[in-house]
Structure 1
Amino acid sequence: MTAIPQERRLVTAVPGPKSLELQARRTATVAGGVGSTMPVFAARAGGGVLEDVDGNRFIDFGSGIAVTTVGASAEAVVRRATAQLADFTHTCFMITPYEGYVAVCEQLAELTPGDHAKKSALFNSGAEAVENAVKIARSYTKRQAVVVFDHGYHGRTNLTMALTAKNMPYKNGFGPFAPEIYRVPVAYGYRWPTGPENCGPEASAQAIDQISKQIGAENVAAIIIEPVLGEGGFIEPAKGFLPALAKFAKDNGIVFVADEIQSGFCRTGQWFACEDEGIVPDLITTAKGIAGGLPLAAVTGRAEIMDAAHSGGLGGTYGGNPVACAAALGSIETMRELDLPAKARRIEEIMKARLATLREKYDIVGDVRGRGAMIAIELVKDRESKEPAAEATAALAKACQQAGLLVLTCGTYGNVLRFLPPLVIGEDLLNEGLDIIEQAFAGL
C-alpha cells in the first residue's frame, strides 16, 4: 500500500501559501489555455488520497480523470516501471522492438471482449487511439464516413474534436474540422422525451434511420461510441441501444468501435463497460486506466481489421513506450490480484445508496446514475423542466474541494458532478467523502 496516510487533513487555507507561490510561477510561464480543476499543486498521491505542497491531504474522487484506477503510486506499477527505467527508457518499437510492448498486447487480447483472434497497436493518448481506430476502419472498409453521437467526447486533436459533441471548451475557435463526421442521437434516458422506458428502442431506431437516410450505411467506415459517455455526463445508454447499433454495424459491414478510454479497465465493475450488454466490439480503444498514470493507449480488435493498414501505416515515436508498458503490466497485475472489478461494484453499492438519499432530500438532484466507480448526479433547477443547474454544480464542486474532497464536473450542460474514486480507496475514506458531499448540499 501507499506510504501516504489515508486520511483527509487540512492544515492551511485552500490554496495554501506554497500553492499560491507556484500559481504565480505558473501564470508567468504556462499557457493560459491549460486549465486546472483545483488551485493546489500536488506533492504526492496514493491510495485514495492526494497531498499538496502545503501538506493538505484531499480525498480523491477524480483519479486524474479515471487514470489512477489502481492508485497514483501502486506498488506493482512503481516496481515494474522502476526496473524498466534502469534497463532503458526508449528505443522506439518501430526501430528495435522489445518484449513489454508484446506483453501488453497479449494482455489486451486476453482481457478485451470476444474470443476471436485479436491484435493491438499502442499509442500515447486516448485521442491518438481514436484517430488510429478511424484510420484502421477506413483502411479496412475502404469507406470514409464516421458516425458519432450526441454528448460524445473523443479527444482534443483536430479529428477527435470533430468527433466530440461539446463546443466549449473543446472546439470553440479551433476549426475548421475534419470532414465526413456525422452525429446522431444517443439514448439519454433521463432526458428522452417519451421517458427512459422507451428510450432504447426509440433512440436506436432514430439513429439507424438517420444513418441510413442521411449518410447511407454503405458509406460508413465506423460507428464510434463510449459504452458509458464520460465527458458528456456519465450517460449510460438506455438498454437495447448499444446492441441495436452493434447489430446494424455488423449487418452493414461497418466497424463498431467501443471507446473505453474512460470506462475501461474495471472502472464500471467489469473489465470493460461494453460487457454489460454482451457487446463484442470490432475495435476497442483504451487509455487512462491502462498504465497507472503513465501515458499509454491502445487500439485492440479483430486481427483481420487490425491488419488492414499497410506496414508502417501505424505507429509513432513514443507509442508503446517501454516504461509505460511496464507500468501497464503492473497496473493489470494489481487489477487481477485485488479483483478491482469487485471493488468497483462495492463502491457503486455504497455510493448509490448514499446519493439516492440525497435525491430524496434535495429536489436539485435530478438523476443518480452510472456503474461501478463511474457514478454521477445530474443537477437541475426544476425536476419537471429539467433545466440544468450549472452554477449550483460548480458551487458544490468548489465547496467539496474547500472541505478536502476532490470532485469533478462534466456534462454537455455543465450540470453533472462525477465521481471517479481510485478503486483501491478505503471504505472509510469513501464514506467520509460522501459525508462532505452531503454537507455541501446542506450548505446550498
Structure 2
Amino acid sequence: MDTIENHKPHIRQYPDANGFFGKFGGSYVNEELQREMKNIENAYNTICRSQNFIHELRHIRKHFQGRPTPVYYCKNLSDLIGGARIYLKREDLNHSGAHKLNHCMGEALLAKFMGKKKLIAETGAGQHGVALATAGAYFNIKTEIHMGEVDIAKEHPNVVRMKILGADVVSVTRGTKTLKDAVDSAFEAYLADPVNTIYCIGSVVGPHPFPMMVREFQRVVGIEAREQYQEMTGELPDHVIACCGGGSNAMGILSAFIEDPVRLHIVEPMGRGEKVGDNAASVKFGTEGIIHGFNSIVIKDEKGEPAPVYSCASGLDYPAVGPEHAFLVKEKKRYEAHTVTDIECIEAFFILSRLEGIIPALESAHAVAYAIKLAKERKSESILVNLSGRGDKDIDYVEQTWGEYMKKFPNYSLLEGIDCSGINIL
C-alpha cells in the first residue's frame, strides 16, 4: 500500500519510532538501560526543538569549532590523474582536527541539559576521545575515555592531547586491545552508574537513539558541503565518498545527497587481506547480527560472535557498520560499499600530502584512495570526498611502518599507468 509516509524524505522517514532503519537498528539492551535510553531520547527530542539549544549549538559551531569548513578543489591531484575532478570537504580543519567534535559538542550539551556529571566514551584513533575531552573541558564536565592498549601506543599524540585536556584515559587490555574492546569497557563503566553519567557513543552505532542523534549532529557536514559545492560549480557532484567504520563521518556528508541523483560511496578497510582478523570490511564479509545493542551487519567468527578485525586506521577497525548504512547499502541502488587495503591507504596518505600539502588521517586516506581509483575510470566526472580528519595523529605510526610496506610493495599501484616523472611522491 502506498502511503504518505513512503513519500517522506529519507531523513524524516528513518528511523521509525523504535529506532529501526528497515530491519536494522533498534535497541537490544536490558530493561534498566532501556529506561535510560528512553530518557536520553526524550531529552534529545525536547532540546533539539528548543531555540536556546539551537542557538547555543550554532554559536559553538561558528565561534568555537570554526565552521563552516571549506570545500577544496584538488587541482594538482586531478591534473596528475587526468580523470575526474576531485574535491575535499575539509573536516580536518574543524577544531580538534576531525569531524568528531560535531556530535561531541551536541552530546555534551545534551548531558548538561540532563544534569549528567560525567561523560564516558570509547575511542579508536583517538579523534573521538580528543573531541569529547574538548567538549568536557568546554562544559566543565568530567570525562573518561576508554582506549585499547594497541591504539594507545599507535595514536600516542592523541592520548597526550586527551590528558592535557583533562580527560582520564583508561587503557583496555582485554581481547584485541582495540576499538571493539574499548566499546565493551566503556559500556561496562557506563552501566555502573547510568543515572549520573552518559555514554557519548562515537559513531552512528549503538542502541537507539544514538545512531539517529549522531547522524543529526553530523548532518551539518553534508548540508554545508552540498551548498558549497553548488556555489563553486553550479551543479551537484557525480560521486560523494567517505570512509566508514561505524560511519559517523560518512552519514554526516552522505545524508545531504540521499535524495539526489548522485552516487554515494562508503569505503571500508580491507586491511591485510580477506582472512578473518585481517580486515574490517563489515559490508563485504559480515552478516546480520546484534552487537552493542543494535542490529546490523557484523563480521562474525565460527561461533557467530563478533570477530577480531584489523585496519591500519584505528578509527575503522570495528566489526560492524552503523544500522543506517546497512539499510542504505541493501535498499538504495546508488549507495555502494567498497574496500581499500592498507597499502592503498598509505599510498593515498603520501600522494595527498605531497601533491596538495594536506596530510590526511589514515581513516580519511581510505576515501582518498578510492577516489583516486574512481577518478582514473570516470574521466569527465566529479568526486567529492569527506576528508574526515587530519593525519597529525598518524605520522609516528606511518614513519615507523612505511619501510616495511615499501619492501613488500615497491610500486605505487594507485598511480599505475600515470606518468609521475618529476613528481615528488617519495
User: Whose radius of gyration is greater, 1 or 2?
Assistant: 1
Q: Same fold (TM over 0.5)?
A: no
Q: TM-score range by the shorter chain?
A: 0.3 to 0.5
Greater share of helix: 2
TM-score (normalizing by structure 1): 0.32
TM-score (normalizing by structure 2): 0.33
